[in-house]
Amino acid sequence: MGVLRILKRLIDRLFFETLRRLFIRGAVQEKRLLLVRTDGIGDLVYFERYVRAFAQGFPDHKVYLLCREECKGLAELFPPFRQVRFFQYINYRWNYLYRIIVLNRIRSLRPTTAVYCSYHRQHIGDEMTLLSGAKETIAFQGNDEIIHPATRRTNDRLYSTVIETSDHVSEDVKYRALLKRIGVDRIPSPSNFRVSLQLKDTSSRAPSVGPYFIIGVGGSSPLRRWPAERFSILGAIVAENTGWQPVLTGSENEGKLLGTVAERMKVRPRIIDGESLPAIVQLIASAKLFIGNESGLLHIAACLGTPALGILGGGHFTRYFPYGSVRIVSHKLPCFECNWKCPFPEPYCLTNISVDDVVAELKRRRLLRVVKS
């Protein structure tokens, strides 16, 4: 595995340096700002409230976004972007012909400034930004969690501007440092966490009669997921105390996990998986309550103002605070901020959170104030 990793890094470097020398910067007719993101749905939701601030720093620029294909349905609900371009993450990492196609699409935008907005940088994000043809390129210094240190240092020298911030501080602090560097004075307050999603009518399979609450059992990694059987117990308790219908939702590849939780739940839930992102957004917007792991769905609930409780481990604990309408239950350990490099056989920061702990937090936050008649 180590040899393959080294070989892949060498091929990536050769590919990048070859194209860097072959690509010629074309003439620019108008000023355009390209924002590059290589991370997931939750990161994009959190980032949206800063987009207008970026536009303030580049007042005469048209703003374009580049992000993963799975974010497509969500990004198109955000009003600030002039145009959104997408790429297939796995395909881009391994298919070099596809890389050339995507890079040509990026260069066709003719950006004058390109900003790599993901703090956890990857070489593919550096590649997209640095080969975009933009005269000015900006990125966070980041860390070495998902990029080789030598690759990051080499790429740093190619950027016009590299923003240095502490690793274990919130994304808000990081974005403020970036915005301040580009001359933005008015930066949105983190206490007003409301994203301007343009909701549309969608044909989702949401419950059509009666109030409901949502349980989001998934997450980008098993390390970030509270045990499934506890969601089953918790869902039954919430349903019995409120009279609300439980709804389990997640992505297409989480169908088995949703089924496991549903089978063990005393109250029969509704399962909604594989829906489009706009439909899921509409579903969360109309819910009485959202309970879930650290995931994109939790961030969507927060930005919509839906009452929500997040069950969080400590890997990236401080990064996304504040969560707006979301209240947090966690089990504090000395190893918090481990970047999910868990030193234990299991993530005790999650597995030590009991159902009683979550129920107590729901009651303390008055999220179970409706009693079944």
Query: What share of the chain has pLDDT > 70, as a percent?
Result: 89
Give the DSSP H or E segment for 236: helix 228-242
Whether 166 and 181 have beta carbons less than 8 Å apart is answered as: no
What is d(CA 139, CA 136) in angstroms, rounded to the nearest whole number? 10
Task: Report pLDDT for 373.
Answer: 38
Mean pLDDT of the chain: 86
Domains 12-181 and 212-364 in one fold:
yes
Q: How many CB atoms lie within 10 A of CB 88?
A: 13
**At residue 11, does pLDDT exceed 80?**
yes
H or E element that contains 248: strand 245-250
Please say if the pLDDT value at position 71 is more than 50: yes
Residue 28: the pLDDT is 67
User: What average pLDDT does range 120-135 have in this prediction?
Assistant: 96
**In this predicted structure, what is the pLDDT of residue 56?**
83
- For the segment 291-320, the average pLDDT, to the nearest whole number, is 87
CATH class of 12-181: alpha beta
**pLDDT tens digits, one per residue of 208-267:** 557 999 999 887 788 889 999 999 999 999 999 999 999 998 877 787 888 889 999 988
pTM for this entry = 0.86
Distance of alpha carbon 220 from its chain centroid, rounded? 10
pLDDT of residue 371 exceeding 50, the answer is: no
pLDDT of res. 324 = 66
Strands 136-140 and 161-163: what pairing? parallel
Sketch the domain layout of the chain as residue ranges.
12-181, 212-364
Identify which has the larger pLDDT, 189 or 328.
Answer: 328
- CATH of the structural domain 212-364, one choice from 3.40.50.10420, 3.90.228.20, 3.20.20.105, 3.40.50.2000: 3.40.50.2000
Higher per-residue pLDDT: 369 or 55 = 55
Structure tokens, 277:
């992102």
Predicted pLDDT at 194: 53
Q: Which two tokens stand for residue 207?
A: 């419950």
In this prediction, residue 112 carries a pLDDT of 94
Confidence band for 153, pLDDT divided at 50, 70 and 90? very high
